[in-house]
Amino acid sequence: MRIVHTIAELRQALASCRHPAFVPTMGNLHDGHLALVQLARPLGDVTVVSIFVNRLQFLPHEDFDSYPRTWEADCARLRDGGCDLLFAPRERELYPRPQTFRLQPDPALADLLEGHFRPGFFGGVGTVVLKLFACVLGQTGGTAVFGKKDYQQLMVIREMVQQFALPIEIVAAETSRAADGLALSSRNAYLNPDERREAVALPQALQRLAQRWLDAPAQGPALEQQALDALRARGWQPDYLSVRRRADLQTATAGDAPGTLVALGAARLGGTRLIDNLEF
The active-site residue, picked from 19, 30, 33, 116, is: 33
Q: Interhelix angle for 31-40 vs 71-81, to 10°?
A: 40
For 139: left if phi > 0, alpha if psi spans -120 to 50, otherwise beta; the answer is alpha
For 38: left if phi > 0, alpha if psi spans -120 to 50, otherwise beta; the answer is alpha
Residue 33 annotated as catalytic: yes
Among 43, 28, 279, 75, residue whose Cα is nearest residue 174: 279
Amino acid at 32: G
Q: What is the DSSP string of 140-162?
A: T-EEEEEETTSHHHHHHHHHHHH
Alpha helices in 164-268 (DSSP H): 193-198, 201-215, 220-233
Query: Do the bridges between strand 2-4 and strand 85-87 make them parallel or antiparallel, or are there none, so unpaired?
Result: parallel
Helix (H) or strand (E) holding 241: strand 237-245
Q: What is the DSSP string of 45-86?
A: SEEEEEE---GGGS-TTSSTTTS---HHHHHHHHHHHT-SEE
List active site positions: 33
